[in-house]
Amino acid sequence: MTLKLTCPNCGPRYTTEFWFGGEPVPRATPAAPGVDALRADFERVWLRTNVAGVQSERWFHHAGCRRWLVTERDTRTNVFHGHG
């Protein structure tokens, strides 16, 4: 089995055409005074939900439209639930 993902621009394609972007991450903001900046960076950059279930995630269609999409996938079965 090879995973297939439906790109909103290009239609159904194998995931080998995409780069996996992981769970969406909030943009970096300057640390507020009194906040441990290293700790805040650690939490933003490295902590994920790592859910065994439906996960919201980003993919980049590098071999197609070269646009990012956000979709949902069940990480237990690799079944995609959404479109970008």
Partner 1 sequence: MPGLLSRDVHLPERTLASHYDVIVIGGGGHGLATAYYLAKDHGVRNVAVLERSYIGSGGTGRNTTVLRANYKTPETIKFYKASFDLYRTLSAELDYHTLRSERGLLWMAHSEAQANSQRERALQNQVYDVDTVYLNAAEVHEVCPQLDMSCGGRRPIWGAAYHLPGGIIRHDAVVWGYATAASRLGVQVHQGVPVTGMVMEKGRCTGVRTPSGVISAGAVVSAVGGYVTQITDMVGLKIPIITHPLQAFVTQSYQPVLDRVVASADLHIYVSQSARGEMLVGAEIDPYTSYSTRSTFTFAASTAARAIDLFPFMAKLRLLRQWTGICDMTPDYSPLLGPTPIDGFYLSTGWGTWGFKAIPIGGKAMAELVATKRVPEIIAPLGLDRFALDRCVSERASAGTH
Where along the sequence are the contacts to partner 1 (CB under 8 A)? Answer: 1-3, 14-16, 19-20, 22, 36, 38-39, 42-43, 45-50, 52, 55, 57, 75-78
32, 84, 30: which is closest to 58 by C-alpha? 84
CA separation for the pair 8, 27 (Å, rounded): 24
> Three-state SS for 40?
helix
CB of 39 to partner 1, least distance (A): 5
Residues, the chain:
84
Q: Considering beta carbons, is residue 6 or 15 the nearer one to partner 1?
A: 15
Q: Considering beta carbons, is residue 39 or 83 the nearer one to partner 1?
A: 39
